[in-house]
Amino acid sequence: MSGGSNSVFPTDLASGVSRSGRKPTCHRGRSLLTSYAYNYLYSGPPASSILSQGDRLLLSMSLVKIPLLFTGLLSGYVILTPPQPKVSTKDRHQDVKPFERWFSATVHIHSIALKTLSCVAPMLEAAVIVAGRFPDHPLSQMVLTTLVPGPQSLTRKIACTGAFLASWAVGTLGAAVRYQCYQTMGRFFTFEVSIRDGHQIVQDGWYGIVRHPSYISGAFSLVGLGLMHAVAGSWMRECGVLQTPVGKTLVGIYAGLTVYVTLSMAWRSREEDRILKEQFGEQWEEYAGKDLGAVRFSNPYHT
């Protein structure tokens, strides 16, 4: 079919170019809606909507991560939020070594810093996943421009990998155990070393299996929640955040605080053992002599 500038040329739909080499146009009498339809037909759909089957599978896998990310967020909030109000200085146990005084005085600062990092990271990754799913939206462009240092196509590498699932399992299961310890100890579970009226040696739940399960589970949870954002398939790794100065700094802060808090809990457990032995005497000796598994660095009495 031939004609003037107002005719529609036979077109190769794969390329959106007419066989005569001219761009197709619409008749003047056609409506605006019809014109848009012709333009879409000849130009093809937006590039962002043309995804291979593999790309669509990766997008689906990344969307599956969103509920897992938010359970990780909840886990971080649980393990780093004191279940009871802060114990005043005068109510803390006074016969402790200088390091324990320092740790009790600053533990809330460390908890807030770790909680902020472990809660913000899942929200940012979820935002990047959603933005990558709808890249043409102006808000998505703002998110991707801000949070993806490399090419925006890197968001397609975010996926629910085996390494992520393993890290998530360690983080959330550790948080679940620590939360059960909160419930078992009740009002006596505090982030500071203190002895209150009515204290007794607890042997229920996890405390009847290992010595001080809350320290152990808390340490494992911190490691798992941190690895969620560093392993293959994570936003920080796949999108190049870990290679930026800001990313390296935040990872260094989280890793440093995790190591510091874990070692501090191990140190505190020995101090608590000494205090409990003085407080409960033979009752503590009897409990400490029981076979509670391989882990014996902690106690069943305090955090």
Q: For residue 58, what pLDDT is reported?
A: 52
Q: For residue 166, what pLDDT is reported?
A: 97
Q: For residue 44, what pLDDT is reported?
A: 41
Whole-angstrom Cα distance, residue 282 to residue 8? 97
pLDDT single digits (tens) 170-196: 999 999 999 999 998 888 788 877 766
Print the SS3 string covering the chain.
CCCCCCCCCCEECCCCEECCCCCCCCCCCCCHHHHHHHHHHHHCCCHHHCCCHHHHHHHHHHHHHHHHHHHHHHHHHHHCCCCCCCCCHHHCCCCCCHHHHHHHHHHHHHHHHHHHHHHHHHHHHHHHHHHHHCCCCHHHHHHHHHHCCCCHHHHHHCCCCHHHHHHHHHHHHHHHHHHHHHHHHHHHCCCCCCCCCCCCCCCCHHHHCCCCHHHHHHHHHHHHHHHCCCCCCCHHHHCCHHHCHHHHHHHHHHHHHHHHHHHHHHHHHHHHHHHHHHHHCHHHHHHHCCCCCCCCCCCCCCC
Whole-structure pTM value:
0.74
Tell me which residues of the chain have a pLDDT lower than 50.
1-51, 293-303
Q: For residue 91, what pLDDT is reported?
A: 65
Whole-angstrom Cα distance, residue 291 to residue 147? 50
Q: For residue 271, what pLDDT is reported?
A: 80
Q: For residue 279, what pLDDT is reported?
A: 74
Contact predicate 221/75, CB 8 Å: yes
Q: For residue 35, what pLDDT is reported?
A: 47
Whole-angstrom Cα distance, residue 93 to residue 86? 13
